[in-house]
A and B are shown apart, each in its own frame.
Chain A
Amino acid sequence: MSSQSHNGNHYYVPNPVAYPVIMSAGLLTLATGFIFNINNFAAGKQMMMVGALVIIAMIFKWMGAVISECQNGLYKKWEDKSFRVGMIVFICSEVAFFAAFFGALFFMRVISIPELASYDPQFTMYKDFTDAWPSAGPGGVVLGKEYVAAKFSPMAAWGLPAINTFLLLTSGATVTWAHWGLMKNNRKQLVIGLFLTVALGIAFLLCQAAEYHEAYTEMGLTLGAGAYGASFFMLTGFHGFHVMLGTLMLIVILFRSMKGHFDADHHFGFEGVAWYWHFVDVVWLGLFVFVYWL
């Protein structure tokens, strides 16, 4: 239909689709269900389930449509460039998202905790609080709720986190190696490289799960452990979530590679995922330095 080219230089405009609007309805249901759930109203969990299923189904349909359009040769150089620029801009927005949480971490370390410790003892409720990091804050009654500063041990950098750094950096190398395989049309290298990358991603997630388990059960380090606990879990948690998404995306392109998709000069799907994976990698380096190490 409209997708067929009228002349040599035709841009592919997809036909009308219902996936986006159904996905939005799914998001509305998921969000409303989540709000009901955290405020203890009925039916929250059920609404969340329905919403999540709708979203997942629509992602499958939508991405499936994209893949089949790609395989039918509807995307040429011009469309390809749109996807590339779009992916770069999207990754920039992700950088800004992480910057918010890094900003919160730096603000608490550099401004709020030193300030809380610096007040004249005669005029503060936090007399015995000293400026140190890691810190769970001075404790006290805020908004009518008493908070006793959590006792916890911070996560040491050179245990599991160092191993995780090694895993992610290696996975960055394997995905590049897979890319080289694709460029010289060595399909075996492509598939093995991607397989290794997926395996390393899953290994990273397992290590992080072990780390969280240890933090909660043995170290007293929880989401509620003041400034350190909040920034630690929010930063590593959102990063872990992105690793999970990246791994799912890698699994998709692994299967696509096994089915013979992509070639040396037509593989935006592969590159987009690889860029995303490198981005996740770089965020991790920031985490390792500022959350675990310093």
Chain B
Amino acid sequence: MSYTTTANHDEHHDHPTGIMRWLTTTNHKDIGTMYLTFSLIMFLVGGAMILAVRAELFQPGLQLMQPEFYNQLIGVHALVMIFAALMPAATGFANWMLPLQIGAPDMALPRLNNWGFWLLPPAAILLTLPFTLAMFGIGDGAIATGWTFYAPLSIQGGMGVDFAIFSVHLLGISSVLGSINVIVTILNMRTPGMTLMKMPMFAWSWLVTAFLLIATIPVLAGAVTMLLTDRHFGTHFFDAAGGGDPILFQHLFWFFGHPEVYIVLLPIWGFMPQILQTFSRKPMYGYKAQVISLWAIGALALVVWAHHFFTVGMPVPALLYFMYSTMAISLPLAVLFFCWIATIWKGSLSFETPMLFAIGWIVLFGIGGLTGLVLADVAADAQYHHSYFVVAHFHYTLFAGGMMGVMAGVYYWLPKMTGHMFSERLGKLHFWLTAISFNLTFIPQFFLGLAGMPRRIPDYALQFAEFNAISTVAAFVLGLSQLIFVYNIVSCVRGGKKATDRVWEGAEGLEWTLPSPPPYHSFTEQPIVK
């Protein structure tokens, strides 16, 4: 990256170079770059894990691995993808773009910002170290409970559970620090004249995200701490013999786990309307309605958690409450969908790579949302629960709604970050390969789930063989087409056609008034917003 050369005030800086630059940086763009790079690397790591799983599922029977190892792979895949790929990507965008969008010189608390990032690699090491240790005969591998840590399975589990617990602690500290930084930056660093209701949607969505993180991440930390003391220090939080209850863990976990879905998705709902308006060349539809919807979803997210375990044996009034409140989320979400579609309605559209991803995202994330509505129905959920239908549903929300959203953001802002245009041809190829192979991977899984195939089991009945084979082949295409993405990013960082300041014809917002790439300190003089 070469943005230091274009900065106006860079002669004042005496910054370390090489590896020390990245270890010690307090600059929001450097830290944002590290978050995004980390996210990309962990995306490939988590993807490799699940390709091994899909390879095992190519045929019925056990071919490649033992069930214990299979369990470790699916659990660590989910933890890596959620905590180490999706969340850091959102935080990376926040670091890079929030100060640019609100006209700030940097994030409000730059040293904490650095710490927030540098907690992630240790957390990733803790999560994956047990795999390596097991090769040397220490312990029995990584956490094998799935990403949900359900007790009592996690109480019986081996040392991998302890590693995962501490990994979650570090990730939690990182998320809380990141949230503090985002909230403070948005509330205190906006340029004069930029009132809250003039903020870019991305800032609003991150404010809601940070609010959810602050409310829920510490609860997860508390839950896994209780798990740790149940495992090693004789407490009985999740043990009926002592008056506790394994279901208590599910409540605590999903009090965090459900808002987590929105934590991952909200930042994307923030920048997606910005992408849509850019390539529709007309202003965003329903700004105020979107802001209110974001907050409504944020608030509802905190009170619907038990729909993740409808089948656990709750009293009927509780089931009804959690069903209705869950379905209520679809109302503000429908408002958002309406606004996104209305934004492109009658616009003069052009289909550059970010816009392709954005439109594909609306469709695919829509499928994810609608299948979620099906799962929210208590009576229907008894059939779908713990089946491949659930797997397909949350991959439509988290891969299509999450990852493809992130990819849209990467393509949208990459020229601004690097100062070079990426290859449109490869970008479009990446989109079509991803969208098609994604659907071929997961549509069969809806049918598998409806037919009764349970998730998290390495073997299956013969009747499921064809759909699993299709799903596996498509998953490998999906995985390999991400290499195009990596290649496109790397070559864009190294060079390419020079990007203009505005980059995209219809782009609006403060970040497009700065040169591409922007100077080291974004706004040394704060711009005035009328």
Is A168 at the interface (CB under 8 A from chain B)? no
Collect the chain A residues with CB atoms within 8 Å of residue B218's CB: 93-94, 96-97, 99-100
Task: Please tell me if the beta carbons of A11 and B236 are within 8 angstroms of each other in the complex.
Answer: no
Is A7 at the interface (CB under 8 A from chain B)? yes
Collect the chain A residues with CB atoms within 8 Å of residue B232's CB: 38
Task: Please tell me if the beta carbons of A16 and B25 are within 8 angstroms of each other in the complex.
Answer: yes
B352-383 Cβ-contact flags toward A at 8 Å (1 or 0):
00000000000000000000000000000000
Interchain CB contact (< 8 A) of B219 among A34, A81, A100, A141: A100
Collect the chain B residues with CB atoms within 8 Å of residue A16's CB: 15-16, 20-21, 24-26
CB distance from B216 to the nearest CB of A (A): 7
Task: Please tell me if the beta carbons of A226 and B159 are within 8 angstroms of each other in the complex.
Answer: no
Is A199 at the interface (CB under 8 A from chain B)? no
CB-CB contacts below 8 Å: B383-416 with A: none
Residue of B nearest to A102 (CB): B222
Collect the chain A residues with CB atoms within 8 Å of residue B252's CB: 100, 103-104
Is A57 at the interface (CB under 8 A from chain B)? no
Collect the chain B residues with CB atoms within 8 Å of residue A28's CB: 122, 125-126, 170
Collect the chain B residues with CB atoms within 8 Å of residue A104's CB: 222, 226, 237, 244, 248, 252
CB distance from A55 to the nearest CB of B (A): 12
Collect the chain B residues with CB atoms within 8 Å of residue A18's CB: 20, 23-24
Say which size band chain B's interface belongs to.
35 or more
Q: Cα distance A38–B345 when bound, in Å?
A: 60
Interchain CB contact (< 8 A) of A101 among B139, B184, B222, B242: B222
Interchain CB contact (< 8 A) of B184 among A82, A92, A107: A82
Collect the chain A residues with CB atoms within 8 Å of residue B105's CB: 10-11, 13
CB distance from A52 to the nearest CB of B (A): 14
Is A9 at the interface (CB under 8 A from chain B)? yes
Residue of B nearest to A115 (CB): B245
Say which size band chain A's interface belongs to.
35 or more
- B contacts, CB < 8 Å to A: 9, 12-16, 20-21, 23-27, 104-106, 108-112, 114-115, 118-119, 121-122, 125-126, 129, 138-139, 152, 155-156, 159, 162-163, 166, 169-170, 176, 179-181, 183-184, 187-189, 210, 214-219, 221-223, 225-226, 229, 232-237, 239-245, 247-248, 251-252, 255, 521, 524-526
- Apart from A108-B245, A137-B236, A224-B234: 5 A-B pairs, beta carbons within 8 A: A25-B122, A32-B126, A97-B221, A104-B244, A230-B237
- A contacts, CB < 8 Å to B: 1-2, 4, 6-7, 9-11, 13-21, 23-25, 27-28, 31-32, 34-35, 38-39, 41, 62, 78, 81-82, 85-86, 89-90, 92-94, 96-101, 103-104, 107-108, 111-113, 115-116, 135-143, 147, 149, 222-224, 226-231, 233-234
